[in-house]
Chains A and B, each alone.
Chain A
Amino acid sequence: DAGITQSPRHKVTETGTPVTLRCHQTENHRYMYWYRQDPGHGLRLIHYSYGVKDTDKGEVSDGYSVSRSKTEDFLLTLESATSSQTSVYFCAISEPGEDTEAFFGQGTRLTVV
């Protein structure tokens, strides 16, 4: 399995508090991604990074920010968590190219109460 670690794996937080999820890789892949997954919606891209300090928005970026200060870490921050951000969050990594595959982490289950 690709070396991707998401932390924490589970978190319960209160509405209005900031939350940071971490994705750590040991594969030295250039691209990193954050998704959320909710029943009936499949996987939706939040933000992605195509290099250190290079990030871009995905489909559902409102309410989320990201940072990538080094190759191996990609942080997802909810500045002020809301109940609508209760979800399962997945991180993924890949190399650039039309024929490369993405590797996914095990997910973080976040509950905002």
Chain B
Amino acid sequence: GQNIDQPTEMTATEGAIVQINCTYQTSGFNGLFWYQQHAGEAPTFLSYNVLDGLEEKGRFSSFLSRSKGYSYLLLKELQMKDSASYLCAVRDRGYALNFGKGTSLLVTP
């Protein structure tokens, strides 16, 4: 079975750093994805991790520890436009993604 957990909601201040955690228990592992989804829009691809370690891409970084079944998305220098849902998704044996319920991030002034 699949079990992917993320916090439901988070709040952070503009200009700050926020870390969104994701833990997973899946029957197989073939990569972990992070997506951003603004209300009423489709998910936008942010990052992909398949090996342990940190992947940095501008203000966003994603970390993976396969042995711990753990990932986080780190957002630096938060902007108001970063207010959105952030979805953690694991690709197990096949090619399709299994999604967590998403973390709703609110960035305040």
Bound pair: A and B? no
